[in-house]
Every structure is written in C-alpha cells, then in structure tokens.
Amino acid sequence: MLLIADVLDPAALERVREGLAEAPFADGRRTAGGAARAVKANRQAVGSEEQVRALARFVRQAMERNGPFQIYARPARWSPILFNRYGAGERYGLHMDDAIMGGDEQRLRSDLSFTLFLADPDSYEGGELVLEGTDGERAVKPAAGALVVYSTGALHRVEPVRSGERLAAVGWIQSLIRRADQREILFDLSRIRDATTEGEARLLMDKSIGNLLRLWAEP
C-alpha cells in the first residue's frame, strides 16, 4: 500500500466538493459486482452527468501530474473514476474488487485500486478504509486530498460511518507492470535515482530502469 499526501491541494478539493454538492447521487450497489453488491451500502455520483465526468477528468489529471503515483502505479489503462458518499450508518463490507472490469474496448485487468479522500477526517466519525493482509489489518483515514493505492487483490472494507459524511473518489489501474514485486523494484530504483546527483551514477540508474521496463512492461 502507498499513501500519498496532497494529491489535491485545498483549492482543488474545494472545486471537487462544490461540484459534487450539485451532482445527483444514486444507490452505489448498481456498480458493484458479484458478492460485493450484497455488502455495499453507499451512494455514488451518477457518472452519465457531464459535471461528474468533468470532475473525474479533473481528478485524473491531478493524479497524472503526481510523480510518486506515476512511478508506483505506471498506469497503462484507467477505469472511470467514481465518486462515492457515505452518510451515517452506511458502509462497505469486506470484499475484493473484480479482477476484470469494463467491457469491450474499455476492459482492463485491475492490478491496483485507489481511494482519494475528499472529506476532512474530523468532519465524520468512522469510515476508515481497512485493508487485510497476512500480517493483520491496517486502517487508514488520511487527510483530505490524500491518495491510497493498494493491490486490487486485497480484501478490504469501509467501516460504518457513525456521523458526518465520508466523500471519496475511487478507481482502478491496469499497470504496465503486471507483477507487484517488479513494480516495487522499479519504484525503489526510481526513488534512488531521483535522490542521486547528476552524473554517471544517475545515467546508469536511468539505463537500468529503462532496461527493466523493456524486460517487464506489457504495453
């Protein structure tokens, strides 16, 4: 899991919140697949509305400009970005996201899931994103504007909201690099390269990263 702070700055957050305040929302179960539909209780912005599509483009552009996200996820394909809202008593029970999403030309293999938090954590109680792993559970509830990226194969849930309103953007990525261990190696090497001064050492790191991308990438 990777947590990236300030993917949206305060001005960008305000723009998204104001846009969603005027957008229609519907029962979120209609976009859930399989067993997830039975444990999902939230509301989702109607994606056919132009104002919602415009906000989704705005959020995606902010993510595309974020360097840590790009070198961690290395996106090849994106799902549509969805906006969801949880009020008091709403939750999303333990589930796993679908491995294949979309249809026809929009079909993608979901390697990574992401949640971009849009509400200040002090404005609602509960609503933590909980990820299950072999080492136990990890609950996250970061500041508004922060992005959490995690393996789509992870079991996860959203805890019930006790008061206030949880607002977030979610979506899925098909990465150029299918394997998580290879993505981690490239991410670590890229961070080392970016911390390296100019000269032969940086050129050699660029060379190694490029050769590994040629070896592992699935365009």
Name the architecture of domain 2-175. Sandwich (2.60)
pTM (predicted TM-score):
0.94
What's the CA gap between 125 and 165, in Å, rounded?
A: 8
- 38 alpha-carbon distance from chain centroid: 22
Neighbours of 195 (CB within 10 A): 9
User: Whose CA is closest to 152, among 48, 57, 36?
Assistant: 36
Q: Specify the pLDDT at position 94.
A: 95
pLDDT in tens, the chain (219 residues): 999 999 999 999 999 999 999 999 999 988 776 777 889 999 999 988 999 999 999 999 999 999 999 999 999 999 999 999 999 999 999 999 999 998 877 899 999 999 999 999 999 999 999 999 888 999 999 999 999 999 999 999 999 999 999 999 999 999 999 999 999 999 999 999 988 778 898 999 999 999 999 999 997
Evaluate whether 149 touches 2 at the Cβ level (below 8 Å).
Answer: yes
What's the CA gap between 84 and 41, in Å, rounded?
A: 10
What's the CA gap between 125 and 159, in Å, rounded?
A: 10
HSE value, Cβ hemisphere, 13 Å, CA-based, for 10: 0
Evaluate whether 188 touches 182 at the Cβ level (below 8 Å).
Answer: no
Q: Specify the pLDDT at position 22.
A: 93
**Residues whose CB is less than 8 angstroms from the CB of residue 184 and which lie 6 or more positions away in sequence, other chains included:** none
Residue 100: its H or E element: strand 100-101
Q: Specify the pLDDT at position 134.
A: 87
pLDDT digits (tens, 9 = 90+) for 37-79: 889 999 999 988 999 999 999 999 999 999 999 999 999 999 9
What's the CA gap between 42 and 25, in Å, rounded?
A: 10
What's the CA gap between 73 and 68, in Å, rounded?
A: 8
Evaluate whether 74 touches 176 at the Cβ level (below 8 Å).
Answer: yes
3-state secondary structure of 95: strand
Neighbours of 27 (CB within 10 A): 12
